[in-house]
Structure 1
Amino acid sequence: MVEPKLATVLNVNDDDANRYLVNRILEMAGFRVLEAATGMGALLMAEQHRPDVIVLDVKLPDISGYEVCERLRKNPGTASMAVLHTSATFVTSDKKVRGLEGGADAYLTQPFEAAELIATVKSLLRLRHAEQVARLRAEELAEMDRRKDEFLAMLAHELRNPLAAIMTAIGILERKPTDDAKETRMRGIIQRQTNHLARLVDDLLDVSRITRDKVELRTSKLDLLDVLRQVLQVARPIAESRGLGLEVSMPPGPLWVTADATRLEQVFTNLLDNAAKYTDGGHILVRIEQVGVDGSAKAVVRVKDTGIGIPADVLPYIFDLFAQADTSLERSRGGLGIGLTLVRKLVQMHGGDVQAHSEGPGRGSEFVVKLPLLSEMSTPATSGRVSDGRRGRRILLVEDNSDARQAMRDLLELWGHQVTVAPDGLQGVALALTQSPELALVDIGLPGLDGYRVAEELRSRVGNSIRLVAITGYGGPEGQDRALQAGFDMHLVKPVKPDELDRLLSSL
C-alpha cells in the first residue's frame, strides 16, 4: 500500500529557539519540516524543495519577510506556495495589511498557541489543494476546448465535402426544367434541406469561434436594405412553402452602415428562419425604418410572427446558448439552440443591440434589431451597376472528392466554361503549367500537395496571370487570412451555392 505523501512546511526564522519550537509543533502534527534562518536561504530552499506551506517570519537578518514573499510570488515556480507570515514585533494592523497585500495568505502574531499554528497551516493546505484542483480542472477544460475546436473543424470539413457535391448537383438539376410535379417537389426538398444543413454546420462552428472572440468582422460601407433584399429573396420561397405570408415594409432610400455583409445576412437569415420554424400558420412581418437624426440615427429591423410565442420564464434567456422556445419532448421544431446566441453576438459586434418580445404562448414573437447608421457626410455616392462580365473561361478545378469534382465540372461546363480537372495538388500544378487556365478553383485539403502550397507554387511559377480561388471545408477568418497569404485572390467556404459561384465568375 502506498503511503500518503506528507505535507512539507518550510519554517523560516533567524531565532534558533523560536525556529526549534515551531519545528517541533509541526513535526508532532505530522508534517515534514524544512528550515531556514535567512531570507535568501528561504528562497533557495523554496526553489529546490517546493514546500506546500512556508511559515515566514517578517524580521530576518538579510532581507525582510515581505521581500521574500514578493520574490516568491514573482517566481512562477514558487508563486503558488502558501505563505504564513509570523512576527513578534511587526504586529500593528498596517504591518499585517502590508504583508497580506504583498502576497501572504495569513498572518499570526507571536507568541501563538500550537493549536492556532496547526489550524492555520491546515487551512492553508486546504486552500492550496483547492487551488491546485481548480487549476488542473481549468487546464483540462482548456485542453478539452482545444480538442473540441479541432473536432468541430474536422467535422465541418467532412460534412461540407458531401454538402458541396449535393448543392452543386441540385444547381445543375434546377437549370433543366421538368414537367413532373413530384420531381419538382423532390428537388425543392433536397435544396431546402441541404441549405438548412449547411446553415447548421456554419452556426455550430461560428458559435464556438464567436464565444471565444475568434471572429473578426470584415466591414465596409454598405446599404442595409441591399443585405435585407438578399435575405428576403431566399426566405420568401421558404415561408411560402410552409403556407406563411411574408409582408415587408421598407423605406425608399438607402440605409448606410459600416458592417460585414455576410454576418448581417447571417443575423437576419437566422431571425427569419426562426420565425418560419415557430409559426404553423399566419404570417411574418418584416419592417425596416430609420429612427433618430444624423449622428445618432439607427436602423431598426423588426421581424414579427404569429407563431407559438415565447413563455415569460423563457424570454429572459432566449439569447443564451442552447436556449429553446420549444421545450417539448418531441422537439418538433428542430434546431440546435445556438442561432439566437449568434444573432446577439454578431449584432453587438456591429455596435447594435437586439431584443425579443412576446405576449406569451400562442401569441407570436417579435425580434427587434437596432444598428447605428452612418452620418450623411460619410455615406458613399451612388454609382451605376457593374455590367455583367460573364463569358466562357478556361478553368482548372483541383478537388480530391470525386463526387464534388464531377458535379462542379458539370455545372461549370453547363455555363459554357472550358474545364480541366485534377484530383490532387501535384497534378493541379502540372496542368496549370501546361494548360494556362485563366482561373483555378482549388480545394485546400488535397493529398500530397495541399491547396496552400499549390497557390504558392503557381504564384512563384506563373505569377499573377492566373486568378486563384480557394474552396475549402475549413471556415473561419484564420483560413481566409492564410489563403490570402498563400496567394489566393478569394476564399470560399463549402458548400458553395451555384448562384454565389456564378456571381464570382461574372465579377472576374
Structure 2
Amino acid sequence: MEQEVVSQTTLETMHEQLRALTQLQGLSRKLNASLSLDQTLDAVIDAAITICRTDRAAISYFDEAGELILIRHRGLSAQYVENRRLSRREPSLIALVEKGLPGIVEDVEELAGISPNYEYWKAEGVRSIVTLPLVSEGAVFGVLGAGSREVRRYSEVEIDAMTILATEAGAAITNARLFEKLKEANRAKDEFLATLSHELRTPLTPIMGWVNVLKDLKKLDPLLAEGLEVIERNAKQQAVLINDLLDLTRIISGKIELFREATDLVSIAKAAAEQIRPQAGDRSIEVATDLPPIAVTCDLDPLRIQQVITNLLGNALKFTPEGGRIELRLHGNERGEGNALLEVIDNGLGIEPAFLPHIFERFTQAHGSLDRRYGGLGLGLAITRSLVEMHGGRISAESAGIGLGSSFRVTLPVGMPAPLTETAGNRETSLSSKNDESPDDLGLRLLVIEDSQDARNVMELILSTYGCDVETASNASDGIKLAVEHKPHIIISDIGMPGLDGYEFIRRIRATPGLENTPAIALTGYAREEDREFALEAGYDAHLAKPADLPRLLSLIRRLTKGE
C-alpha cells in the first residue's frame, strides 16, 4: 500500500514535470520567434499561469524610486491595479531583491500587519503568492509574480520551472526592450531624415522657380543669363546630393521598393543620354550612343534604372576632361531571353588599380577628403550597385589606370515583364521628362497652400503665366476656407505646415461636400517612398518632391484636371 502511494506521488510529480517542461519548451519557441515586447510579455504571463495552475499573474518593473510599476497582468481587477503599491522593501520581495531568490508566501495572512498591501491582496482574493526576480546583467530590474485563490504550498517542480521561466523571461524581455529602443531610434532617425529632406528641399523651390521665370524673359543680359545657368546647375546638384543621402538611408534600412513594369531599356537609355548632353556640351564632351534599333523590354523599375544609367553617365562626365568622349552602349536580346548589357565608357581620368576593388563602397572616393575637385559624397556608385543588385543584375568597373579612361558594365535579366501595378502607374515621371503641354488654355482655378512665402509667391507667379487664376494660403486652415469659397479645379499643397499638416488638410477636404473629388497634388520636401504612400493614402491624387520640375508639374495639372 505504501509503495502504491509512493508510486502515485512519483507519477503525479512526473506529470507535473512534463507539464512544466512542455510549457517551457513552448515558451522558448515563442520567444525565439519574436522580438515583440508585447508578444514576449504575453507569452511569459501565459506560461506562469499554466505552470502555477492559477488564473492570475503579473510582470512589473522597478522605477528609479524603487516602486514596482505594473507592466502586464492577467486576472487582476482594475481597483487592485490602481491601488497596488509595492516597493523594494515589501516583505514578500526582500529576499527576491536582495538575494535574487524566489519570494514565496503560502498564506498572505502571514503578512497581516506587516505588508501595506495585505488588505488589497485579501480584497482581491489572493491567498498565496510566488514572485521571482527578472534579472538583466546581474541586476534585478523587475518581478514575475503569480497568485492563487487558495492557501497552498508551491511544489519544487513549480518553483524550479518558475525559476527557469523567470531566467528566460529576464533575457527575453531585456532583448525585446532593446529591440524596441532600436526601433524607436530608427523611427527618430527616419523622422529626422524626413525633416532634413523637407528643410533642404523647400528653399530649392523658390530658387528653381525664379530661375524658370527669369529664363523665360525675352531679352536677357548675357551676364544675367550666365548667372542663372550657374544658379540652376548648382541647385540641381544640391537636389542630387539630397536624393543620394535619402536613397542611401533607404537602401541600408531595406525601405526601397521597386515598382516593376514592362520597360523598354532603349527608351530609358536615350532619355538618360539626353539628360546629360547639355552639361556635356558646355565642356565640349561628346556623348555617343550605340543602341539597338528595336525595343529591349525588361521587367524593371523604370525610374530606378534611369537613375542607374544617369548616375553612371554623370560619373563619367565628372571625370572626363574638356573635349573628351563618353559612350553609352546597350546590347539586348529582343526575344526576351538572357541578359541585357549596358556599358558606359569614357576616355577620362581612369581609376587607380588599387582603388578599383573599392569603387562601389559607400563614402569612398578615389581622392582624399581635402581634394574637392570633383565634389560629391562618394555615394552615387554605391547606390547604383544596390539598385542594380535589387533588380537581380550585376555591375563591374574596369580601367587600365590613371589617364586611360574607364568602363562600367551593367547586366540586367531580360525576362517576361510583370503586369503594370496600380502603384507603379501612379508614380512620378522621371526628372528628365519633358512635356510641352500646359494648362495655359484651360482657365483653371488653382489653390496653392504653402507656408514658405518665397515658394508661395513664385508658384503663384509661374502658374499665373500659364493662364491660371491662383489663390494662395500660408496654412491649412485658411486653405480649407479658400477651397470652400472658390471651388478650385485643382489643389496643390505642402505637407509640413504649422497647425494642421497637409495630411489632415486633405482628409478634411475629402470630407467637405463639393470638394470630395477635387484633384489634389502634394508638393512637398517629404520625399521618401513612405511619404508618397502616406500622401496617397490620406487622399492626394499625386505626390511630387520639391523642387518639382516645371514641365512635370504642368503636365500633372493637365492630366488630373482632364481626368486622364
TM-score relative to the length of structure 1: 0.72
In 1, are the aligned partners of 2:438 and 2:555 still within 8 Å (CA)?
A: no
2: CA distance, partners of 1:376 / 1:152: 34
**Paired residue total:** 409
1:29-428 paired onto structure 2 within 5 Å: 47=133, 52=138, 62-63=156-157, 71=165, 75-79=168-172, 146-281=187-322, 282-291=324-333, 294=335, 296-327=337-368, 329-375=370-416, 390=439, 391-392=441-442, 393-428=444-479
1: CA distance, partners of 2:158 / 2:203: 69
Would you say 1:487 and 2:516 are equivalent positions? no
1:330 aligned counterpart, secondary structure: coil
1: CA distance, partners of 2:355 / 2:271: 31
Letter in structure 2 aligned against 1:261: P
Q: Which runs of 5+ in 1 are unaligned?
A: 1-31, 39-43, 54-60, 81-131, 380-385
Letter in structure 2 aligned against 1:77: G
In 1, are the aligned partners of 2:493 and 2:502 still within 8 Å (CA)?
A: yes
Q: 1:356 to 1:51 in 2, by over 3 A?
A: closer
In 2, are the aligned partners of 1:311 and 1:361 still within 8 Å (CA)?
A: yes
Q: 1:448 to 1:33 in 2, by over 3 A?
A: closer
1: CA distance, partners of 2:400 / 2:365: 17
2: CA distance, partners of 1:442 / 1:377: 34
Number of the residue aligned with 1:503 = 555
In 2, are the aligned partners of 1:294 and 1:375 still within 8 Å (CA)?
A: no
Q: 1:230 to 1:418 in 2, by over 3 A?
A: farther
Q: Shift in Å at residue 144 of structure 1? A: 5.8
2: CA distance, partners of 1:239 / 1:387: 24
Q: Shift in Å at residue 36 of structure 1? A: 7.8
Q: 1:51 to 1:207 in 2, by over 3 A?
A: closer
After superposition, give the CA deviation of every residue in 1:254-301 in whole Å (9 maximum; x if it has no partner): 12222222222222221111111111231111111214x745332221
2: CA distance, partners of 1:495 / 1:290: 35
TM-score relative to the length of structure 2: 0.65
After superposition, give the CA deviation of every residue in 1:433-483 in whole Å (9 maximum; x if it has no partner): 111111100111122221111111111113444101001111111111111
Letter in structure 1 aligned against 2:170: G
Q: Shift in Å at residue 201 of structure 1? A: 0.7
- The percentage of aligned residue pairs carrying the same residue is 35
Q: 1:316 to 1:235 in 2, by over 3 A?
A: same
1: CA distance, partners of 2:477 / 2:102: 67
In 1, are the aligned partners of 2:360 and 2:381 still within 8 Å (CA)?
A: yes
Comparing 342-351 with 456-465, which one deviates more in the overlay?
456-465
After superposition, give the CA deviation of every residue in 1:173-202 in whole Å (9 maximum; x if it has no partner): 222243532222222111111111111111
1: CA distance, partners of 2:519 / 2:102: 72
Q: 1:162 to 1:37 in 2, by over 3 A?
A: closer
2: CA distance, partners of 1:241 / 1:158: 31
2: CA distance, partners of 1:283 / 1:165: 35
2: CA distance, partners of 1:493 / 1:205: 12
Q: Which runs of 5+ in 2 are unaligned?
A: 1-97, 105-129, 140-154, 421-434
Q: 1:34 to 1:494 in 2, by over 3 A?
A: closer
2: CA distance, partners of 1:295 / 1:223: 11
